[in-house]
């Protein structure tokens, strides 16, 4: 009897919240998702048991269709799982008030421009050491850094000399050409409020101070 009474409560708990599936103890790409929820003040929980993580998100019997290639994955309030950091961020941005403040027809274009800026900031992250750890693993992501150290040093040199300045120049141009930014202190990449693009660029810069 007590089980029957409790059931609706459990169901509500299961379906009313976001659950982030990501590796324990590492910021990585999961951190971009955490940052969005933390900034917006929206509750979420984490499933970070390494013995179950990959098995859950890559098995359609557990994650539903389609299965996922890699974490982070986010379980949505509907019960569906969504993966790929830019897809997750684009999906939750309007729900968390982080996709700009335009309305009507312009809202969708502003959301897409925020998505564009997120993707470029993540490209910067990927090139130095994000998703495929390019600078530290230029030959093979599955091999040790020590086995490709020489190539890694050469790639790091190219990154510092050529790629990083190019990205920073781009984001400086985005900031300084934002017509609405001037009114609000010049600190927003787009519009006159914090978007997910600002949060992603903040984190990319915070972890890339080399």
Closer of 78 and 209 to a copy of itself (Cβ): 78
Stretch of 2-10, 18-26, 45-53, 133-141 lying at the interface with a copy of itself (CB under 8 A):
133-141
**208: nearest Cα among 145, 134, 117, 144:** 134
- Piece of the chain touching a copy of itself by CB under 8 A; list 11-19, 23-31, 42-50, 110-118: 110-118
Site membership for a copy of itself, residue 123 (CB under 8 A): yes
CA dihedral 101, 104, 105, 107 (to 10 degrees): 20
| C-alpha of 34 from chain center | 8
For 107, other C-beta atoms within 10 Å of its C-beta total: 14
Residue among 32, 178, 195, 198 that touches a copy of itself (CB under 8 A):
178
Q: Does 80 bind a copy of itself (CB under 8 A)?
A: yes
CA torsion sign, 80 to 84 to 87 to 89?
positive
122 contacts 200 by C-beta, under 8 angstroms: yes
CA atoms within 13 A on the CB side of 27: 12
* x/- track of binding to a copy of itself for residues 24-43 (CB under 8 A): --------------------
For binding to a copy of itself (CB under 8 A), which residues are involved? 58, 60, 65-69, 76, 78, 80, 82-84, 86-88, 90-91, 105, 108-109, 112-113, 115-117, 119-120, 123, 127, 131-132, 134, 138-143, 148, 151, 154-155, 158, 162-163, 167, 170, 173-174, 177-179, 189-190
């Amino acid at each position: 009897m007590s089980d029957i009474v409790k059931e609706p409560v459990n169901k509500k708990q299961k379906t009313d919240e976001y659950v982030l599936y990501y590796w324990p103890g590492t910021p990585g790409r999961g951190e971009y998702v955490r940052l969005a929820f933390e900034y917006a003040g929206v509750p979420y929980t984490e499933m970070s048991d390494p013995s179950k993580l990959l098995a859950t998100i890559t098995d359609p019997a557990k994650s539903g269709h389609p299965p996922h290639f890699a974490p982070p994955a986010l379980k949505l309030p509907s019960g569906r799982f969504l993966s790929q950091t830019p897809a997750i961020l684009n999906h939750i941005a309007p729900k968390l008030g982080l996709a700009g403040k335009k309305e009507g027809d312009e809202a969708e274009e502003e959301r897409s421009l925020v998505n564009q800026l997120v993707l470029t900031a993540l490209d910067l992250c990927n090139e130095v050491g994000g998703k495929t750890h390019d600078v530290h693993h230029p030959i093979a992501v599955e091999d040790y850094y020590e086995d490709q150290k020489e190539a890694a040093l050469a790639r790091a040199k190219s990154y510092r000399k050529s790629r990083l300045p190019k990205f920073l120049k781009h984001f400086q141009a985005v900031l300084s050409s934002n017509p609405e930014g001037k009114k609000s202190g010049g600190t927003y990449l787009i519009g006159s409020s914090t978007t997910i693009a600002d949060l992603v660029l903040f984190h990319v810069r915070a972890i890339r101070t080399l």
